[in-house]
Structure 1
Amino acid sequence: MTKPSDISPDTLLAAVASGLLTAEQAQGLRDLESANAPVLDREPHDDEKFRFISGFSDIFVTIGLGLFLGALGYFSRDMVGNTGMFAVIAAASWLLAEYFTRQQRMALPSIVLLLVYAGAVFSTVAEAFNPSLRFGVGLGNHGGLPIVVAGLATAVAAALHYRRFRVPVTIAAGVAALVASVVGVLFMLWPDFAVEAAKPLLLACGLAVFTLAMRFDLSDPQRQTRRTDIAFWLHMLAAPLIVHPMVGGLVGEGGSEAVSAWSILAIFIALAIVALVVDRRAILVSGLSYAGFAFGSLVVKAGLSDGVVPLTMLVLGALVLLLSAGWHALRRTLLPLLPGALAVRLPAHT
């Protein structure tokens, strides 16, 4: 447990950001503290650490925010309608962030308030353009203009929010809004084949988001600054955009063909290799459900349909545990195979 005299991780990050310490000096202090700490007090090494919750007060406040904003939306809807309700929630989220984010620096409430704010801004603009539009339903009939405008407005609103509060997830929220705008343009200009073209477009957007995430990652290989948190959330966004178009098409109506199952498993293994190389486990999360389907399909083919669910869970659980246990050893094997100029810019821990 941290003592009052200890230097907190946030203080070290601030020292690096201000130039008081270099990233190497800060890491040296962390290593020294870890080496001198009792065994039970030592934290396992994790290159994907980020501030998600700083204490139970974060959970307590988040529950309160959910209750307050939910009730506020209920009462404001009766007075000002759907569009006005979303606008009220967006304004309330910003005002609450002035205290819980800007002053109290609470991690989980800040993330929740940002997501609620971005969603409310998007819904406000989409409702204003087309009150019958609900989460993309009816794009073919009404065109993608509401989604395009709402996405662009949300991206601008996210940029203003980041300038004010500096919450790392804000960048991913803004990028997600831009992706929605790109999809909206497709439905607006080519509605006849938009559904068929949506998956390749989402894949292209996912690769673009992954590239942006890697730019942040490569600029901070020691993962000591806010850029690594921004990259984490961008990877969380990029993963489903990449995985769903790639393996979604392999899942047919029956979804039990062995060829498709093996293809899905091959894609999942490829994703695991990429995740190991860039040291981002988030890439694997989106592939787990599809890998589960693939294992289930293979089990059905083998005639063991009664045990599909437990056997799938067993294999997936074992795979995740093996990757977790051997993560750093596998990375030490893979990194030397990369070009030297790239390998030195990636996290490389023994």
Structure 2
Amino acid sequence: MYSQEDLNSAVAAGALSAEAADALRAHVAAERDAVPADAEHFRLITGFNDIFVSIGVVIMLLAVGAIGQAVAGAIYPAPVFTGTEWDAEWWNETRSQRSLAQGISMGLAAFFVAGTAWLLAEFFTLKRRMALPSILLLLAFVGGVMVTQAGFIIGWAEGAQDRNETFGIVLLAGAALITAGAAWLHWKRFMVPITIAAGTAAIAGMAVLLLVAAIGPNAQNIETIVLTLVFLAGLVVFGFAMRWDVSDTSRSTRRSDVAFWLHLLAAPMIAHPVFALIGVTDGDNIGAGAALAVVAVYVAFGLVALAVDRRALLVSALAYVLIALTYLFREFGAVELNFALTALVIGSALLTLSALWTPIRRAVVNTLPGELRGRLPATA
């Protein structure tokens, strides 16, 4: 199986003409009886060898993480309680040492994971161009860089006598900025599409953390404030994803893959705060008004997903809609079958939407202004 990236590489190398590549894409699309843009293709696996290598990668990273913990234990061992009864004085006296030891252990393990992930990417990503292992190695590298810093920061903060939560949040924001820089270096070296989303997540996290530090972590209604900030960050990420999408409306280059992962990042950042502010996450009894609001918001998400031809928003909001519909069916007396009826409604709607995605999308897009339609993927 050849990916869009492989075809573009062949055209750039002169092994295949641009016309021949376009003809091959059109032929494959016709054989599959699908419009390439509507199919929302992205490269995940090229064969079972991707899964085989991915299993090996996970095992290797777990092993080096454990080795990192062992090395940390040898460098800075945690105090061991040898008494037989509870000793509050000993626990208070060693709190700083124990916290720092745990932080060093977590940080050094993550550092080993990040370093190993980069080295493995030199072969499996740069030379073999394997999709799934490349995604796992990128996540391990970026996550490892962040956790390395977070481990030392949390270890120090937890053990400090006079903890300053605001200063700790600022340090975590700085760690997120460094993580974004590491993601940029990874992108320049390996060009894995998900890297842009990982770096964007780090920058979004940095922005939210700095704003929380400025407002004060103990401010009134801080949870609502954080949810609002995450929602606004999600809208910015969505706009950034659309910028990549607009640059490749035919969805035939790596830019489309980058946009896919950005949409996948933006979707939960938008969906979770909206439904949490409605009250879906507060408990089982969300109220009929809130349940109807969830359904209305999901319909709005569906219209946006159809317009931009991305399904991430619909997937991210599914759990909340299931909760809302389950409540509504229970209110109407279908207590024993409420979950079954909810699953039936949602499943039927998703399958119908999938089967009729192209004509439904055409109807939605045709209602938009002409200038906006020109920036979206074409409808068949």
Both proteins in one fold, TM over 0.5: yes
Q: Secondary structure at the match of 1:49?
A: coil
Aligned residues: 336
Whole-angstrom CA distance in 2 between matches of 1:17 and 1:283? 35
1:61 maps to which residue? 53
Query: Is 1:109–2:109 an aligned residue pair?
Result: no
Distance 1:17 1:116 in 2: 31
Per-residue Cα deviation, 1:260-289 (whole angstroms, up to 9, x for no partner): 000000000000000000000112110111
Task: Provide the residue aligned with 2:26 in structure 1.
Answer: 31
Post-superposition offset of 1:46: 4.2
Alignment RMSD: 2.3
**1:28-63, Cα deviation, whole Å (9 max, x unpaired):** 43224555x5xxxx3644421011111100000000
Give, in angstroms, the shift of residue 312 of structure 1: 1.5
Residues 127 and 133 in structure 1, CA contact (< 8 A), matched pair in contact too: no
- SS across alignment from 1:110: helix
How many angstroms does 1:16 deviate by?
5.6
Would you say the 8 A contact 1:125–1:149 is kept in 2? Answer: no
Q: CA deviation at 1:90?
A: 0.5
Q: Does structure 1 retain, via aligned residues, the 8 Å contact 2:246–2:375?
A: yes
Question: In structure 1, how many angstroms separate the alpha carbons of the residues matched to 2:156 and 2:357?
Answer: 48
Q: How does 1:1-350 map to 2 (within 5 A)?
A: 9-15=4-10, 26-32=21-27, 35=30, 42=32, 44-47=34-37, 48-80=40-72, 81-131=105-155, 143-190=168-215, 191-193=217-219, 194-250=222-278, 251=280, 252-350=282-380
Distance 1:130 1:83 in 2: 10
Give 1:11 deviation, angstroms: 3.8
Preserved CA contact (<8 Å) 2:29 2:35: no
**1:97-118 C-alpha deviation (Å, 9 max, x unpaired):** 0010001100000000000111
Structure 1: unaligned runs, 5 residues or longer: none
Q: Which has the higher contact order (CA 8 A, sep 6+)?
A: 2
**When the two structures are superposed, what TM-score results if normalisation uses the length of structure 2?**
0.83
Higher Rg of the two aligned structures: 2
What secondary structure is seen at the aligned counterpart in 1 of 2:200? helix
Q: Find the residue that maps to 1:54 and give its secondary structure.
A: coil
User: Partner of 1:256: helix, strand, or coil?
Assistant: coil
**Conserved in 2, the CA contact under 8 Å of 1:144 and 1:186?**
no
Contact 2:107–2:151, Cα closer than 8 Å, also in 1: yes
> Do 1:256 and 1:300's aligned partners in 2 also have CA atoms closer than 8 Å?
no
Q: Quick one: which amino acid aligns to residue 74 of structure 1?
A: A
Give the Cα–Cα distance (whole angstroms) in 2 for the partners of residues 166 and 90 of structure 1.
17
Q: CA deviation at 1:146?
A: 3.1
Segment of structure 1 superposing worse, 282-291 or 307-316: 307-316
**In the alignment, is the contact (CA less than 8 A) between 1:126 and 1:133 conserved in 2?**
no
